[in-house]
Amino acid sequence: MWDSKQLTALWAVTERGSFEAAAEQLDLTASAVSQRIRALEEETGFALVTRTRPCRATPQGQKILRFIRNLHWLEQDVRNELAQQNRPYEWPVATNYDSLETWLLPVLAEVARHEAVLPDVQADNEEHTHKLMNEGRVMAAVSTRPQAMAGCEVHHLGIQAYRLLAAPVFAARHFSDGLTKQAVQRAPLLMFDRKDEMQSAFLRRHFGVNTARCAKIYLPAATPFYHAVKLGLGYGMIPDWQSADDLAAGRLVDLNPGHTIDIHLYWHCWKAQSPRLARLNRLFVETARRVLAGQAAAV
């Protein structure tokens, strides 16, 4: 059985990013934290933490972090059963930014009405959220990845359709002769961040354009991204649920009518679950499917 103090030290270092910050959290010296992790590494036979800034778990360390996370949930279950209480559970989950700003909060609110949970939401690009699970940092994740990781199960939640949109004045200025390859490369393209693959995939598929050659504006927030398109700062991919009213009113134009990118969203969670966690994941999936289907029907 691994020493709980050593496991806590590993958890603190990877969560806080340094031995010094972990020591402050645990009310220890950095040397004491280092000794506990070194002892755990000697017992397992693997390096568990990179000695970098910030500190990161190695692949072997990530496996132990997942064990710690599951152990923490089981401990909460047992404590509640022994005390005959229903204390809120800490529930770390990962999501993409668009989901966070649209359907996720209503789903979490519905879940919280039935289960005592304290969501700890971490956001990243939709193609990278599952990596937070692999690192042992969250218990579940919204992702575009359909394949389940080892030890996980995956559930399809729904689809979000995106279109290439611009403000009418922007389209008139930059695409007066149509969406030629040259015009697409010259016009300012809005990108969420440098991990944003959606704009790249759409332009490559329909115009043979490599976004590395495009003039780009980076704006890593879903609502400001949308407002930037409406204001004519650039053009980019916008979800249907967000743009339907403005498209109908002529405040936005579809630059490539009839063509969308359909983003399939999946819920990844661990197979090994306490009864309460299994119930929580089941409730989340059912609620998310209902909310996403309702949004799609309203467009």
Q: What is the pLDDT of residue 263?
A: 92
The stretches of 84-212 forming alpha helices (DSSP H) are 97-100, 104-114, 129-134, 168-174, 181-186, 198-207
CA-wise closest residue to 5 among 44, 43, 33, 42: 33
Q: Which residues have CB under 8 Å from 218's CB, separation 6+?
A: 191, 192, 193, 194
Q: In degrees rounded to 5, what are phi and psi of residue 80?
A: -65, -40
What pLDDT score does 65 carry?
Answer: 86
pTM over 0.95? The answer is no
Q: How far apart are CA 44 and CA 39, in angstroms?
A: 9
Divide the 299 residues of the chain into consecutive groups of 10 and give the mean pLDDT of each group.
89 90 92 92 91 88 84 76 75 91 92 92 83 83 90 93 97 94 95 88 91 92 94 96 93 95 93 82 96 78
What is the reported pLDDT for 298? 67
Residue 155 has a CB neighbour count (10 Å cut-off) of 18
Please give the DSSP secondary-structure letter assigned to residue 10. H
The whole-angstrom separation of Cα 126 and Cα 128 is 5
